[in-house]
Amino acid sequence: MELNRENWEAALEGYYKGDSLFAAPMKDHTSLAIGGAADILTSPEDPLSIRNLMVVLKREGIPFFPIGGGTNLLVRDGGIEGVVISVRAFNRIEVLQEYEGVVELFVEAGVPWQKLVNFCKEKGYSGIEGLTGIPGTVGGAICGNSGSFGREVKDVVASVVIMNSEGRLDRHNATDLGFSYRSSNIPESDIVMSANMRFRKDEAGAVAARTDRFFSEKKGTQPITEKSAGCVFRNPGETPAGRLIDEAGCKGIKRGGIEVSTVHANFFVNRGGGTSSDFMGLMDEVTARVQKKFGVALEPEIKIIGRDK
């Protein structure tokens, strides 16, 4: 099927609720503000619409890529072939049950992670204070097992509802998702829909104090208010990637509009007008310097997708 508006609307007529944007610039939908256009950017409004969308995409052989907040993501300058599926409309948080000092929440994948942190902070639910300041959505945080200050998302996940590429919904226990350092075994072709998450009940003031302390520390050591994709490289071992990059003399070096942050060397920030080519060129330079000085091969933590120009 040729991806034009007429064919697209005909294929989904009566089966889909939500927006469909054609030739959507991904720089407007990523935290880096970088990226060419996606052929189509969809924002389904309900699970049935996602299921029907997946059925059409599979039938027509159209590639797709799900996104949450567009963080931890570098889209190449040539844009994305096929369809990008945004889960931003799925943003509910509900209390499921409370028992023996524990509260279990139902959290949809499109909930901004910081919204969940703030909800727990206000209610006195403990477990993710150290994960404050992490950008993106709950779905993305689960897929990448985001972490900070010795805590990881897997520590509070009980189960996850996932829709596979054929439109089938399944609930998976957290122990079956292969959580490890900044990763899980959730396929890129599957879409996290929601999660049940467990927290300890505590005094709201105590949770707020811990959350604020962690946020203050993070704000002083990471460029969390600037345009970045989070940490660029995985920590290769006990020595953090940021320290290796710093000691290799890379802080502040630039390629086009992209700069290695002077606050934290494992963050690359877009100073304006940066391109994917700039970003990847800077990654290559940093990798080469670290390899030369320490003999360590850095591996990307960010996801790089899309077409070359």
Which residues form the catalytic set?
A: 182, 231, 301
**Using only C-alpha atoms, what is the Rg of the chain?**
20
Distance CA 42, CA 85 (A): 5
- Going by the DSSP 8-state scheme, the letter that residue 265 receives in this structure is T
SS (H, E, C) 24-88: EEHHHCCCCCCCCEEEEEEEECCHHHHHHHHHHHHHHCCCEEEECCCCCEEECCCCEEEEEEECC
Residue owning tokens 């209390």: 95
Distance CA 291, CA 236 (A): 12
CB 129 within 8 A of CB 116: no
Residue type (1 letter), 83: V
Quick one: tokens of 49? 């619409």
- Going by the DSSP 8-state scheme, the letter that residue 238 receives in this structure is S
Non-local (6+) Cβ contacts of 33 within 8 A are 27, 227, 270, 274
Residue owning tokens 């829909």: 193
